[in-house]
Structure 1
Amino acid sequence: MTGLDPAKELGRISALAIECARDLHRHAAEYPEVFPERPFDAGMYHSLGLVGAFGSPWARAEELRAVNRAGLWVFAVDLRVDHVTASRHKVAALVEECLAVAGGEAPRSPLTQVLAGIRDDVGGDRRWRGQLERMLSAMLTEWDWRESKATPTLEEYLLNADSCGSSFVNLSHWLYTGDAWTLANLPQVREAGDEVQRYLRLLNDLATYDREARWGDANALTMGAGRAEVTRRMAQHERTAAGLISALRGTSPRTALYLERQIGFNTGFYGISDYWGEL
């Protein structure tokens, strides 16, 4: 941090968030088929700009391009899987197309054109493609659960937490702008990020239950878990994440702070709002 007084620091970070939001809005305007105005309203771009800026307040807007655009793309592919693509065959074909583009093939649709830009930003890293596959496979599993009206246990549900895309976004960020230690120790860093992801998955479920019930989206509560059980698991994952993050602090303090702020920012944010606009 810069040593500014709190109000000035908040003002500086907010200005960074606005720069990020404007970049996202310009980017989305190039692909209206991928980012329709409903549910991609102005609030979504500002929300993503805020989480990026407050997660890495030392960064320039350009350094946050990969994390912001990856986050935006996750929302787009999630919308496509959950609410646009009508059959499992088409969902599986979409997954296959995305993975082919992640592996270096030319994009064949606007959605994968956006993905190709993120791929190029992160250098086509094989670990990034693997994390993308984990995320898309988890989204497909949730599609199957919804169609079959399955009720997985909370443990099974959390094993599928890659569907929310947090770890994919984090890895995109680290590959684009991570320090040397973080890049050399990604297994340890990703372990901490995966634990944060499990916390965020449940936080989202508690905070957005009403909307997700209306939209028919996967949610631990709609699948039978009780609020008390979900809250207990959140506390467990928060404690575990804190221990894993603490181990990073001495060698990569910015990576540790980034992960801490994923928990802190989103906990505060979801107390009032949601990233999605209305369908």
Structure 2
Amino acid sequence: MNDLFAPRIAADPSGWNPHLAAVLADLATTDAVIAAQLSKWAHGWGAPFSLGSVPLSAVYATHVAPWNPPEVTLMTAKTILWIATVDDWAERDDAAPRGLDHLQEVAEGKAPDPHSALAGALADIRDTVLGAASSRRRGSLWVKATTALLAGMKFEHVASAQIRDGGPPPALPLYLHHAGQTIGVPLTMATLWASAPQPACDSSLARLQPPLESASQAIRMANDLQSYERERRTGDLNAIALGASPAYLRTQIADQVRHCLEQLRPLLTHPCPDAQALHYCLHFVLRLHQAGDAGHLHEREQQQQEH
């Protein structure tokens, strides 16, 4: 995947750029502030939230839309952390299907189970995002993305259980359809788009759906390419385990990236933060996957130390 984007920028003191230095300093400061606030939020909910996922969630939210006000960045970070937490829980808990059904009800407006940290946190995110949404259309997009993510997680949980019981695996296209949601990019973007007041871009929301789908598929395939060995050990669904070759995934990633950028180009010719955020997201998350199994990089470092 290293050839998808330009090579990483090497440090070069002779090319000192004061403006870039100021931007990087602002990003680092925002990262630190958001991480502290997110840590407090996660600690307040308790298990199954893990403080170990806080730093990456804060960095992700800060870099996807660095122009956003702090409250929007924090809400985006909460969403990213919540997605990662639900994903881990849904893969491990036998009662996940019933819990995922309840979370769908919460996303659609039902009161959360007071004994469920995941439901309570989702209700908190829901009320804040929908309360801040600059239009009903943006709020509806958030509800749709949340329910699609949860339906995808239920599909993956049930399919994995069936395989363990000796049943047939799902077809690759069906898996990728749901996995494009469970990778979390559609909900992350929906939260950001709903939370940030930018009514000038409302007419572009429909045009953003095709590049969003392409970006989500590219990022899902990059994830599966890097996480195959870990997911093979844990028995989780993965595109390679379902028959896709690494070469096929690399070709598809390149195609989906090209499709996304082609579809975004007309929207980037005039100021549209919605499109710019998706462009940033595509680059940031794929860069993250170039480094390895995103979200589990600490496990790789630990394994290297042990050997």
Q: TM-score, normalised by structure 2?
A: 0.80
Check if 1:210 corresponds to 2:229: yes
Alignment partner, residue 26 of structure 2: 12
Partner of 1:221: 240
- Distance in 2, Cα, partners of 1:154 & 1:234: 15
1:194 aligns with 2:213: yes
1:237 deviates by 0.5
Number of aligned residue pairs: 267
Once the 2 structures are TM-superposed, how far is the Cα of residue 166 of structure 1 from its aligned partner?
A: 1.1
Are 2:78 and 1:75 equivalent residues in the alignment? no
State the partner residue of 1:159.
177
Which residue does the alignment assign to 2:49?
35
Equivalent in the alignment of 1:63: 72
Tell me the residue number matched to 2:144: 130
Query: Percent same amino acid among aligned pairs?
Result: 22
Deviations for 1:57-85, whole angstroms, at most 9, x for unmatched residues?
1123222122111111111111221112x
Q: Determine whether 1:120 maps to 2:140.
A: no
Superposition deviation, residue 178 in structure 1? 4.5
Structure 2 residue aligned with 1:25: 39
Cα contact 1:131–1:168 (8 A) shared by 2: yes
For residues 275 and 75 of structure 1, what CA distance do their matches in structure 2 show? Answer: 9
In the alignment, which residue of structure 1 is the partner of 2:111? 106
Letter in 1 for 2:198: D
Tell me which of the two structures has the higher relative contact order, counting C-alpha pairs closer than 8 angstroms and 6 or more residues apart: 1
Cα distance between partner residues in 2 of 1:122 and 1:251: 26
Name 1:171's counterpart in structure 2: 190
Secondary structure of 1:106's aligned partner: coil
1:210 is displaced (CA, Å) by: 2.4
Number of the residue aligned with 1:275: 295
Consecutive unaligned residues in structure 2, runs of 5 or more: 1-16, 132-138, 300-307
The answer to whether the 8 Å contact 2:201/2:274 transfers is yes
After TM superposition, give the deviation of residue 196 of structure 1 in Å.
0.8
C-alpha displacement of 1:184 = 4.0
State the 1:176 CA deviation: 0.6
Deviates more, 1:108-117 or 1:135-144: 135-144
**What do residues 62-119 of structure 1 show as CA deviations (whole Å, max 9, x unaligned)?**
22122111111111111221112x1xxx333212211221222211122111000111
Report if aligned partners of 2:201, 2:272 keep a CA contact under 8 Å in 1.
no
**Greater alpha carbon shift after TM alignment, 98-107 vs 64-73:** 98-107
* Residue of structure 2 equivalent to 1:262: 281
Q: Secondary structure of 2:251's match?
A: helix
The CA RMSD over aligned residues, in Å, is: 2.0
Quick one: distance in 1 between partners of 2:177 and 2:280?
23
Q: TM-score normalized by structure 1?
A: 0.88
Q: Evaluate the alpha carbon distance shift between residue 272 and residue 5 of structure 1 in structure 2; reply closer, same or farther with a 3 A threshold.
A: same
Q: 2:151 corresponds to which letter in structure 1?
A: S
Determine the C-alpha separation between the residues in 1 that align with 2:161 and 2:97. Answer: 14
Counterpart of 1:136, as a letter, is L
- Paired residue type of 1:218: L
- 1:50 is aligned with what amino acid? V
Q: Deviations over 1:123-149 (max 9, x none)?
A: 173332222111111111111221222
User: What residue identity is the alignment partner of 1:113?
Assistant: G
1:172 deviates by 1.0
Change (3 A) 1:148 1:242: same
Range with bigger deviation, 186-195 or 218-227: 186-195
Provide the C-alpha distance between the structure 1 equivalents of 2:141 and 2:280, rounded to a whole number of angstroms.
Answer: 24
Structure label with greater radius of gyration: 2
Q: CA deviation at 1:163?
A: 1.7
SS at match of 2:47: coil
